[in-house]
Each structure stands twice: as structure tokens, then as C-alpha cells.
Structure 1
Amino acid sequence: MNILDSLVTQAATITAIRRDIHAHPELCFEEKRTADVIAARLTEWGIPIHRGLGTTGVVGIVKNGTSDRAVGLRADMDALPMQEFNTFAHASQHAGRMHACGHDGHVAMLLAAAQHFARQRNFDGTVYLIFQPAEEGGGGAREMIKDGLFEQFPMEAVFGMHNWPGGEVGKFAVSPGPVMASSNEFKIVIRGRGSHAALPHNGIDPVPIACQMVQAFQTIISRNKKPIDAGVVSVTMIHAGEATNVVPDSCELQGTVRTFTVEVLDMIEKRMQQIAQHICAAHDAECEFEFVRNYPPTINSAAEAEFARQVMASIVGEDNVLKQEPTMGAEDFAYMLQAKPGAYCFIANGDGSHREMGHGGGPCMLHNPSYDFNDELIPLGATYWVRLAEAWLARPAP
């Protein structure tokens, strides 16, 4: 692997920063301490900063030469509302909060690149270092954009990266087109009429109505959607009743819908509402249907994905740059890719063998209470950021 020597030399320092952030996780839009740590380091290295976009966002501005060209590199920095099982020295010091998705590592890789840029500016133009809050459900990318991210810091393209457990360290993955799904939520309330459970004919039982509805939703996937299109409807919560001998008045269903295209999403939402309302009507029940669209699908632009692949290949070799398998997980970097060309890639986080004594008993997977970011990735990921920015600004303007 062609990792920059300066990034290997500074790895221990950046690792310490990463572990400090891991020990002090902050939830979406609450990342004040994390933002302070980032801002202090960038300022120490002589990089001008702008704070406050998306509430707690930090943007570092690294300029060199006379060109007005610019590229953006993004790292998310929020944690998850979950309890950590690890007991090593840098485990979370805050109950119910944990960096279980590796955003601490994403910050570290971009900080490592920032330190290199501050010392060796081998480019003509501007690199914007985007430290984004609230990826985990808050839509921090959307909020930074609303606050003027791309107006205040005009850039030709923007790139993102996420660690991916299970793959061998030293491998990347990137592909054009959809790589992560849209994230959407639904809530359906079936209003029947309560009765004694021994006399169900006196009421309108919402529970069997709900059961029919759950089964019918899957026909959308199997019979309304084209087989080659991807889509998921998952009912994940059903709430009804308070006693074994009472038919409840109502039943509530909640869940998620995931798709790679807006067209499939439009169809699923329409059919779900029709099915829910008509099944309720067939049983003389009333229906309240709510559908909330959260994150859009993350879609890499073809030219930028290919550009990223070439940069990766120059670092780890062609054989170690894999085709990115799309996942039904969601990512709010999608909003940035709606506004700008760019690509979102995966960097392999290993099989979990990097974890020190004191880790939890579970696998080192994303959103798992035994997860920990692999610090071996810091020089590699930072090398990718550096080489990507240098190569982008060295190529002819798009």
C-alpha cells in the first residue's frame, strides 16, 4: 500500500484524538465538545475554520495557490443513543451514548488529512474539510446545506467515506449509482371498537385487521414492484391491547420502507395507503395513515465514482478496490449528492481482531454495543483523502 509516510508518523497522535472522541460521544446536534476538539486542532495547524452550519458543524478551509477551484471532503461526527458494552480505557464515559458506527474514526481520518494539508499543500485550489453533525437520524447534511454550505463554500464535487466491518483492512469499495437506500417511516392507527373478548361480535377488532394489513404490504414487494427493483417494507412495531379479556379499541403499526429510487418509493407509499384504508373500510374500521420520508437514496455520480476508484487503486492496487454492494442502510450524505456531484465509498474495517482487551462479547459490526473503529485505518483513509483532493485539483476543471 502506498500510504503517505507523514500520516504513518502522526498516526499515534490522531489515534489519541479518536479515542478521546470515542470516550466522549455526543448525539445529533449536541456535538459541541467534538466540534471544539476539531476546531482547536484545525486552528492549531493554521487552518481557518467556520462554525455553526447545521448547529454544530465545522468547516476547515485549506487554500493554496491562485486557483478558484475547490473540492469538499466530509466526515460525520455524531454518536448513537445506545449503551456501550466495551470496558477498555477509551470506552464511552456517558451512559446511553456510544460511537457505535465509527464516526469518531471518520473524524480522525479527516483530521489526519487536514494535518498533512497544513504542512504540505501539494495542490492549487481549495480543500473544504466538512465535519458534519447529526447523521444518525437528524439530517445534519440537509441542515448544513440549508444554512448555506455550498453557497458559502462553493465546490465542484463532494466526497464521503464510511468504514465497513468484515472486509480485510486495505480494501475499498466504490461504485456508480445507488449505494445506500432511502429511509422512510410509517405509522398506521387502526381504530375499531372495543368489546369483551368473549363477545367479539359486539366490537370491531383491530388486531386481525392489522394482521391482514401486515401480510398485504408484502404483496407490494412481490406483486406491484418490478422484480429487478429493490424495495423493503418492514413492520417493526405493533401495539394493541392492555388485557387478555378485552378487544382493544385501536392497534398501531409502525415500521420502515427502503428503496433505491424515488419512483419505487412513490409507488410503495401510494399502495400502502390504499391497502391500509381499504382493509380498514372492509371491516368498518377507521384508518389513520402517516408516511414520513427521511433520507433520500445515496446515489454516486458515475464520473466521480470512477475518479475515486482510480485514486484508491493508486494506493492499494486494482485488486483491492471492490465493487460497492448497495445496502438498504441509509445515509444523509445523500443530500449532498443531490446538490453536488460526488461519491460515497466504503473502507474495510477488518474482522474485529483489532479490538483490545475489554471489548464486549458481540461482533464488531456497525450499531453493535461491542463495536470499535479500527485505528489501523487512520493513515490509509487519510491517504485516500489527500490523494483524492490533490488529484481532483490537478485534473482539468469539469
Structure 2
Amino acid sequence: MKQQLFEKLDSAYEDMVVIRRHLHMHPELSFKEVKTAQYIHDFYADLGIEVRAGVGGNGVVARVKGGRPGKTVALRADFDALPIQDEKEVPYKSTIPGVMHACGHDGHTATLLQVAKAIHELREDLAGEYVFIHQHAEEFAPGGAISMIEDGCLDGVDAIFGTHLWSMTPAGTIEYLTGPIMAAADRFSIKVQGAGGHGASPHETKDAIVIASQLVMNLQQLVSRRVNPIDSAVLSIGSFVAENAFNIIADTATLGGTVRTFNPEIRDLMEVEMKRVVDGTALAHNCTIEFSYHRGYPAVVNHAAETEFLKTVAESVPEAQRVVESIPQMGGEDFAYYLEKVPGTFFFTGAMTAQPYPHHHPKFDFDEKAMLLAAKTLGAAAIDYQANETL
């Protein structure tokens, strides 16, 4: 059956590319993916596949039942885009100003649609049930996974598998890892309320820029001096805003940034220690500082048995030239929520182009052949899972 699946996916590759490029040209932002969701729904409806739209918002879930009893396996792909201007010069460049698929979600969607079609065509000879989860809003917390789970997308599911096309890993590579593979992704904002004034009279002010600058430097010491070197953490300031005329001392300044961790205890520690630094700085300067810490996605923690199973499956895929352990990535993914509910694993599919750019870059693109490797690995995992008696 797996060989038949591979042959069907080989034949479907050109259609996969057409779908990917259509979606790339018509991106939609998180929580606004109305037309994309309709496109996905219509694809399944036209094939006569059971499909439900509006799952947890803009999510779409399709189900295919095999001809024999068996387990229920879910495969997931996301389909939202990012608020980035597409700077690539390609025929399939985004037609929506300021919005583009800069993370490969168009490829994820095209991949899963063709996997579903192939499994649907083979369904009479397959065991079990196959659930195809098309998730909206992965890029913006709280994300779409939570609401889709609450709306029943995992009902009856025994295991789940997902992949991310990875632009900085050579094509032909499958990267897997047991345990934490992607980090918890939190964000924070800090507003310093000082007392502005004329640049010629700094002694009469509480300079919000100076205070905020001290915060930037002091916060950088938390990872190096409060986190055990054996553990991992990232604290990055991504925004510092204090606009004024050249001769005005700032009244307010705002900072924004992100914290990334794998260990829940380190996650708690970072939040507590950040508040301590903020409160201490406010006391030292006799000013007011507002601190908001927003918890995003938890870490993506892969289950051991399902990850080892996926490794074995990937080694059977002809396009997989290398199947290797991944290093943990500090990027976040709300696939984490699925893995908190059911066993499964999330892996990376190498998709590096000749001139690679990282994810979320205005010139991001990926090797479209990677979709075929991803499709075969996901499809084979779904089929082989039925025959695996240890899972």
C-alpha cells in the first residue's frame, strides 16, 4: 500500500505545486483566512470527502475512513500568512500588499491536501481512519490549535503527526527529535513612565530613555546569571520606542520582546526575575513601570515511541537522503497543544533553495520538491501506524 501511495503522490506533485503557488499568491493573515479556508473546504467537497469548516474559527477538518477497522491517525497543516511584504521576483509572488507566506504554510497545505486525496483513493484497501487537520492562525497567539481542539478536531484520534518545511536545512533531509524540539514562545511589553522635559535641563526630568536603556542591559543578564547553563533560554528585546523632538527628554518609553524556553521551571523563573528587575528599576528611579508578560505556546515536546516510529518511516521514503536528529529550535509552534492531548511527533523537512533565506524573511522561499518528501513521510506514517502493534 505504501508503494501505491508513493506512486499517487509522484503523480500529484505538479498539482501540489499549482496549489502551493495559488495560495502563495493569495495569502491571508491569522484569524482572517476566510478565502483560504473556503479553498480547502471546496477541495475536499469536490472529492466527496467528509469535511467540516468553521472548526474552532477558520479551521477545516476532513476525515477518510478506511475499508477495515483500525486506529485513527491525524495529520496537521497550518495555512495562515504573515504581515510581510513579499520581495521575491517570482511568477507566484504575493498579490496582497504587505502580506506573504513567509513560513511555508502554503506548502504545508498543498502537501496535506494531496496526501488526503491519495489516501481517499486508496481507502478501500486501508485500515482505520485518517483525520486531516487544516489549522488557521498558527502565527499569532493564542493560535488556532486550542480552539480547534476544543471544537473536537482530535476526537477519537490515537496519534498525530506534523511537519514543517525548513528553509535552512538541505533538501532531502528529515530531522526528528524526541522530547522538546521547539520552544515555549512568550512575549512581553514594558512601559516606562518617566517625567519629560527640555533637553537642556535633564536634572528636572526622569529620562524614560535612560531608564529603559538600563532595563535592556539588566534584562540581558538574566539568562547569563540566573539560568543554569545546562538549561536554555532566550530573552530578546525587539522593540524600543520613545519618539520625541531632538531637544526633548522622553516622558515615556516602551519595550517589547520575547522569551523562549524549553523547561517549564525556567519559563516560570524568567517571568519572576523579569518582574523583579522591572520593579527594582522603578524603585531606583522613583518612576512607574508597567510590565505585562503574555504566555504564548508551550514547548513542542515529541513523544518517544512515535518519534522513533517516524524515524523508521522516513528512512523508507526514497526522497529522504538523510534522516538525522534535529537540534532543538527556539522558534515556537502551537502544534504543542496537540501533543499535550495525544501521542505524536513533529519533524522538519529540509527545503533549502540555492539562495536560502530564513523563515519570516521578505525573500523567503523553499524548494518545492520538499513537499513531495513531506507528503510521502506523512502519508507513510499514517498508513504504517495502522500495522504497528507497539503504538
TM-score, reference length from structure 2: 0.94
Tell me which residue corresponds to 1:131.
134
Aligned residues: 386
- Give the counterpart of 1:4 among 3, 6, 12: 6
One-letter amino acid of the counterpart of residue 109, structure 2: V
Alignment of 1:93-242 (within 5 A): 93-121=95-123, 122-138=125-141, 139-150=143-154, 153-242=155-244
Alignment of 1:377-388 (within 5 A): 377-388=370-381
Tell me which residue corresponds to 1:341.
343
CA contact (8 A) 1:75 1:110 kept: yes
Which whole-Å CA distance do the structure 2 matches of 1:70 and 1:109 have between them? 20
* Structure 1: stretches of 5+ with no match in the other structure: 354-362
Tell me which residue corresponds to 1:374.
367
Which whole-Å CA distance do the structure 2 matches of 1:258 and 1:291 have between them? 12
Runs of 4+ deviating beyond 6 Å: none
- Give the counterpart of 1:281 among 276, 283, 292: 283
Offset, 1:316: 4.4
Relative distance call for 1:168 and 1:252 in structure 2 (3 A) is closer
- Percent identity between matched residues is 38
Which whole-Å CA distance do the structure 2 matches of 1:161 and 1:100 have between them? 16
One-letter amino acid of the counterpart of residue 246, structure 1: I
CA contact (8 A) 2:180 2:302 kept: yes
Offset, 1:328: 0.9
Tell me which residue corresponds to 1:360.
none
Which whole-Å CA distance do the structure 1 matches of 2:338 and 2:59 have between them? 14
Tell me which residue corresponds to 1:250.
252
One-letter amino acid of the counterpart of residue 226, structure 2: N
Offset, 1:27: 1.2
Which whole-Å CA distance do the structure 1 matches of 2:272 and 2:168 have between them? 37
Relative distance call for 1:250 and 1:300 in structure 2 (3 A) is same
CA contact (8 A) 1:29 1:54 kept: no
Which whole-Å CA distance do the structure 2 matches of 1:265 and 1:248 have between them? 32
Tell me which residue corresponds to 2:358.
365
- Give the counterpart of 2:53 among 51, 54, 66: 51
CA contact (8 A) 2:76 2:132 kept: yes
Offset, 1:249: 2.0
Which whole-Å CA distance do the structure 2 matches of 1:66 and 1:74 have between them? 23
Offset, 1:219: 1.7
Deviates more, 1:379-388 or 1:264-273: 379-388
One-letter amino acid of the counterpart of residue 257, structure 1: V
Offset, 1:318: 8.5
User: 1:103-154: CA deviations, max 9, x gaps?
Assistant: 111111111111111111243110101111111114011121122322xx32
CA contact (8 A) 1:18 1:104 kept: yes
Which whole-Å CA distance do the structure 2 matches of 1:133 and 1:317 have between them? 29
Relative distance call for 1:109 and 1:318 in structure 2 (3 A) is closer
Deviates more, 1:334-343 or 1:264-273: 334-343
The alignment partner of 1:10 has SS state of helix
Which whole-Å CA distance do the structure 1 matches of 2:255 and 2:197 have between them? 21
Deviates more, 1:182-191 or 1:39-48: 39-48
1:41 to 2:43 alignment: yes
Offset, 1:319: 6.6
The alignment partner of 1:315 has SS state of coil
CA contact (8 A) 1:177 1:299 kept: yes
Relative distance call for 1:27 and 1:202 in structure 2 (3 A) is same
Which whole-Å CA distance do the structure 2 matches of 1:149 and 1:134 have between them? 15
1:394 to 2:387 alignment: yes
CA contact (8 A) 1:112 1:379 kept: no
CA contact (8 A) 1:73 1:129 kept: yes
Which whole-Å CA distance do the structure 2 matches of 1:90 and 1:374 have between them? 14
Tell me which residue corresponds to 2:316.
314
Which whole-Å CA distance do the structure 1 matches of 2:43 and 2:319 have between them? 32
